[in-house]
Amino acid sequence: MLIGISTDTLAEQQQFVEKEKLNFPLMADSEKTTAKTFGVLSERGFANRSTFVIDKKGVVRKVYATVDATKHPDEVLNYVKANLADKK
Protein backbone atom coordinates (compact mmCIF):
# COMPACT_ATOMS: atom_id res chain seq x y z
CA MET A 1 0.00 0.00 0.00
CA LEU A 2 1.19 3.49 -0.80
CA ILE A 3 0.28 6.46 1.38
CA GLY A 4 1.46 10.04 0.94
CA ILE A 5 1.67 12.46 3.84
CA SER A 6 2.14 16.22 3.64
CA THR A 7 2.07 19.09 6.10
CA ASP A 8 -0.55 20.86 3.99
CA THR A 9 -4.13 21.22 5.22
CA LEU A 10 -6.80 18.68 4.34
CA ALA A 11 -8.40 21.13 1.89
CA GLU A 12 -5.06 21.67 0.13
CA GLN A 13 -4.52 17.91 -0.02
CA GLN A 14 -7.93 17.33 -1.57
CA GLN A 15 -7.22 19.94 -4.26
CA PHE A 16 -3.82 18.39 -5.00
CA VAL A 17 -5.29 14.87 -5.27
CA GLU A 18 -7.93 16.07 -7.71
CA LYS A 19 -5.47 18.13 -9.76
CA GLU A 20 -2.87 15.35 -10.02
CA LYS A 21 -5.46 12.53 -10.24
CA LEU A 22 -3.64 10.53 -7.57
CA ASN A 23 -4.69 6.91 -7.14
CA PHE A 24 -3.44 6.55 -3.57
CA PRO A 25 -4.36 8.17 -0.24
CA LEU A 26 -2.76 11.49 0.61
CA MET A 27 -2.92 12.31 4.29
CA ALA A 28 -2.83 15.80 5.84
CA ASP A 29 -0.37 16.35 8.68
CA SER A 30 -1.12 20.04 9.18
CA GLU A 31 -0.04 19.89 12.84
CA LYS A 32 3.24 18.30 11.68
CA THR A 33 3.06 15.49 14.23
CA THR A 34 3.97 12.73 11.78
CA ALA A 35 6.73 14.79 10.17
CA LYS A 36 8.28 15.40 13.59
CA THR A 37 7.93 11.75 14.61
CA PHE A 38 9.71 10.54 11.47
CA GLY A 39 12.36 13.26 11.69
CA VAL A 40 11.62 14.87 8.34
CA LEU A 41 10.47 18.32 9.43
CA SER A 42 12.86 20.98 8.12
CA GLU A 43 13.88 24.05 10.07
CA ARG A 44 11.54 26.09 7.85
CA GLY A 45 8.57 23.96 8.95
CA PHE A 46 8.12 21.92 5.77
CA ALA A 47 8.44 18.17 5.49
CA ASN A 48 11.45 16.97 3.50
CA ARG A 49 10.60 14.55 0.73
CA SER A 50 11.49 11.13 2.04
CA THR A 51 10.22 7.61 1.59
CA PHE A 52 9.78 5.06 4.35
CA VAL A 53 9.21 1.44 3.39
CA ILE A 54 7.23 -0.12 6.24
CA ASP A 55 6.44 -3.83 6.33
CA LYS A 56 3.11 -5.43 7.23
CA LYS A 57 4.13 -5.59 10.90
CA GLY A 58 4.81 -1.84 11.02
CA VAL A 59 8.61 -2.14 11.00
CA VAL A 60 10.51 0.50 9.01
CA ARG A 61 12.64 -1.58 6.62
CA LYS A 62 14.20 1.12 4.45
CA VAL A 63 14.45 4.90 4.44
CA TYR A 64 15.13 6.98 1.35
CA ALA A 65 16.20 10.35 2.73
CA THR A 66 16.63 11.87 -0.72
CA VAL A 67 14.36 11.28 -3.66
CA ASP A 68 15.11 11.49 -7.39
CA ALA A 69 11.62 11.64 -8.88
CA THR A 70 12.72 10.16 -12.20
CA LYS A 71 14.20 6.98 -10.69
CA HIS A 72 12.55 6.72 -7.30
CA PRO A 73 9.33 4.81 -8.07
CA ASP A 74 11.23 1.99 -9.78
CA GLU A 75 13.90 1.97 -7.07
CA VAL A 76 11.32 1.52 -4.30
CA LEU A 77 9.28 -1.02 -6.25
CA ASN A 78 12.39 -3.10 -6.94
CA TYR A 79 13.34 -3.00 -3.25
CA VAL A 80 9.87 -4.12 -2.17
CA LYS A 81 9.76 -6.93 -4.73
CA ALA A 82 13.21 -8.17 -3.73
CA ASN A 83 12.82 -7.85 0.02
CA LEU A 84 9.21 -7.75 1.12
CA ALA A 85 7.03 -9.36 -1.52
CA ASP A 86 5.48 -12.67 -0.55
CA LYS A 87 7.51 -15.47 -2.08
CA LYS A 88 5.44 -18.18 -3.78
Q: 1 falls in which pLDDT band (50, 70, 90)?
A: confident
User: How far is the C-alpha of 84 from the C-alpha of 9, rounded, in Å?
Assistant: 32
Q: Is the pTM of this model over 0.85?
A: no
Spatial neighbors of 16 by CB under 8 A, at least 6 apart, are 6, 8, 22, 26
Tens-place pLDDT, residues 57-73? 999 999 999 888 889 99
Q: Are 66 and 43 in contact (CB under 8 A)?
A: no
Q: How many other β-carbons are positioned within 10 Å of the β-carbon of residue 13?
A: 21
pLDDT bucket at 82, cuts 50 / 70 / 90:
very high
Domains parsed from the chain with CATH numbers: 4-83 (3.40.30.10)
